[in-house]
Amino acid sequence: MTDALISSAYTQALEVIAQVEPRIAEATRQELADQRSSLKLIASENYASPAVLMTMGTWFSDKYAEGTVGHRFYAGCQNVDTVESLAAEHARELFGAPYAYVQPHSGIDANLVAFWSILANRVETPTLARLGAKNVNELSEADWESLRHEFGNQRLLGMSLDAGGHLTHGFRPNISGKMFHQQQYGTDPATGLLDYDAVAAKAREFKPLVLVAGYSAYPRRVNFATMREIADEVGAVLMVDMAHFAGLVAGKVFTGDEDPVPHAHITTTTTHKSLRGPRGGMVLAQEEFAADVDRGCPMVLGGPLSHVMAAKAVAFAEARQPSFRTYAQAVVDNARSLADGFLQRGATLVTGGTDNHIVLLDVSSYGLTGRQAESALLDAGVVTNRNSVPADPNGAWYTSGIRLGTPALTTRGFGHDEFDRVAELIVDVLTQTQPGTTKAGGPSKASYVLGDGVADKTKDASVEMLEKHPLYPGLELT
Ligand code: DSN
């Protein structure tokens, strides 16, 4: 019955859309067909449930609701208040957090809210208290000017992009690298692992206001208790970006020192990666920062996306079910199967393996750049993304790595045998791919030549597995 309802709901919705812009209806149908027929290994992607997806397609999209629950800049927000309160309550319960802010539209937005909350809490509030002012509007022009200079002269220490950190952790082309004086910590060149002593030494020397932990391409767990000790020693605020592994925290795979929420002053996340919710962001905070984070909209954010907050509530309710813990454990077990499959076939992995949901394959041993490998794999129906490896000689555009993740295919029901087969297929494609040449005949970092028949053979083998684990099994569009 549920399958029939979902099939009929989507079929009818697409018919309604087609009456206005048939090309959008067609692209939507095609996206489902493409996602169903390819091996999705992008570590930051997943498949949200029909309930989560459907929650986003409603009239909540039409409502403005700047402000916070019970304190809005618009009338008529009673239902948005219900939605936002429920989403925050589920989030607090799910993560054991004192405070949850569910308005951020994305991970970058969540991080901006966190940065500005830290600046408000640690720079603005003490300045206002010292000057006896209630808010910045009461400051003299000279005091305001001096506060502005203070905002712009704070320090942030985060993990470097090529070691696995995120753009928003102080990478100079990102706003986080411009609004702060930034320095980066890396990983041990010999092992690829985080060296906490080196992080501590850098923190002692640099004395950051913000120490950022978390990653988007580091295939190992982090000890957040140790990161908090480092932050406390130098008087920094510990901010953890758990966007990638929030599902593993929610699913209780990462507990104790590996659970950032009790250790960090502020934890940020997206909601659509391993957490398997709608596309969006969230900030969790200790009480000390709650009032500052609550000012995220309109301090940094535009009006909340109420339809997405509603879908966050639905996704968090799903993640509170016991089945989500089974899922999260399977994500990690499967990543290990994938890594073992590569190692048994002679591949090189950054850090030599994984203990989270990410496998970072160094493709230089196949004589390829990440860009060439990514394109060759896509031709063969394997969707990945290229990624830098530590001290990457090919930089952030061409790269030397391929980042793989298990959250999406685990949602489809892939297990050990399938992930071992995925490793075999990827190694087959890469060993049969040669670097191409530029138009002038020189070496190229982008073009490549895929061996005859490899793409079709790989697609056939993938389809065999994918058909055994269909995406949205009961959903049939007619
Ligand atoms: N784009 C996300 C990722 O792929 O890791 C992070 O922003």
In sequence order, the 6+-apart residues with CB closer than 8 A to the CB of 262 are 96
CA 248/CA 476 separation, integer angstroms:
31
Is 273 among the catalytic positions? Answer: yes
> How many Å apart are CA 257 and CA 259, to the nearest integer?
6
Q: Name the catalytic one among 36, 92, 221, 279.
A: 279
At 22, list the tokens: 């048939």
Q: Is residue 98 classed as helix, strand or coil in its secondary structure?
A: coil
Is the CB of residue 281 below 6 angstroms from any atom belonging to ligand 1? no
Of the pLDDT bands very low, low, confident and very high (cuts 50, 70, 90), residue 17 is very high
Q: For 113-124, give the DSSP string.
A: HHHHHHHIIIII
Identify any residues that bridge with 71 across adjacent strands, giving them in sequence order.
68
Task: Average the pLDDT over 239-244 and give the result.
Answer: 98
Q: CA torsion 314→320→322→326, rounded to 10°?
A: 80
pLDDT at position 2, please? Answer: 85
Q: Work out the average pLDDT over 195-206.
A: 98
Q: Which of 29, 36, 45, 64 is catalytic?
A: 64
Check if the beta carbon of residue 55 is closer than 8 Å to that of residue 282: no
Of 270, 399, 406, 433, the catalytic one is 270
Cβ atoms < 10 Å from Cβ of 433: 24
Q: Which of 45, 166, 356, 359 to mutate to test the pocket of ligand 1 (most atoms within 8 A of CB)?
A: 166
CB 51 within 8 A of CB 289: no
Q: What integer best gives the mean pLDDT of the chain?
A: 97
58 alpha-carbon distance from chain centroid? 25
Averaged pLDDT for residues 36-44: 97
Nearest CA, atom 6, ligand 1: 216
- Report pLDDT digits (tens) over 320-358: 999 999 999 999 999 999 999 999 999 999 999 999 999
Contact 125, 300 (CB under 8 A): no
Decide if pLDDT at 198 tops 70.
Answer: yes
Of 11, 28, 66, 221, which is the active-site residue?
Answer: 66
304 pocket-lining for ligand 1 (C-beta < 6 Å): no
Q: Which of 244, 374, 399 to mutate to test the pocket of ligand 1 (most atoms within 8 A of CB)?
A: 244
Q: Looking at ligand 1, which atom is closest to the CA of residue 42?
A: 4
Question: Over the stretch 63-89, which tens digit does the pLDDT of each residue have?
Answer: 999 999 999 999 999 999 999 999 999
CATH code for residues 61-319? 3.40.640.10
Q: Ligand 1 pocket, 44 CB below 6 A? A: yes
List the chain domain ranges: 61-319, 322-466
Within 159-237, residue ranges assigned H as helices are 175-179, 196-206, 224-234
**Is 134's pLDDT higher than 70?**
yes
- In the predicted model, is pLDDT for residue 136 greater than 90? yes
Cβ–Cβ < 8 Å for 435, 448? yes
Q: Which two tokens stand for residue 23?
A: 């090309």
pLDDT digits (tens, 9 = 90+) for 266-283: 999 999 999 999 999 999
Q: What is the pLDDT of residue 1?
A: 54
Cβ contacts of residue 94 below 8 Å, gap of 6+?
Answer: 250, 316, 319, 320
Distance between CA 414 and CA 329 in Å, rounded?
13
Contact 402, 369 (CB under 8 A): no
Give 11's contacts (C-beta < 8 A, 6+ positions apart): 477, 478
How far apart are the C-alpha atoms of 282 and 326, rounded to whole Å? 23
Cα 31 to averaged position of ligand 1 atoms, centre (Å): 20
**CA–CA gap between residue 179 and residue 193 (Å, rounded):** 28
CB 328 within 8 A of CB 248: yes
**What gap in Å lies between CA 286 and CA 264, rounded to an integer?**
8
**Span from the CA of 1 to the centroid of ligand 1 (angstroms):** 36
φ, ψ for residue 183 (rounded to 5)? -135, 160
pLDDT for the residue 431: 98
Percent of the chain with pLDDT over 70: 100
If you average pLDDT over residues 153-159, what whole number do you get? 98
Tell whether the model's pLDDT for residue 155 goes beyond 80: yes
CA 232 to chain centre: 26
Among candidates 279, 258, 248, which has minimal Cα distance to 45?
279
CATH class belonging to 322-466? alpha beta
Question: Is pLDDT of 57 > 70?
Answer: yes
pLDDT of residue 70: 96
Q: Which tokens sit at 458?
A: 């790989």
d(CA 45, CA 470): 17
Same fold, 61-319 and 322-466: no
Among 40, 41, 42, 44, say which to mutate for ligand 1: greatest number of ligand atoms within 8 Å of CB.
44
- Active site includes 270? yes
Indicate the pTM of the whole model: 0.96
- Measured CA to CA, the distance from residue 187 to residue 210 in angstroms comes to 19
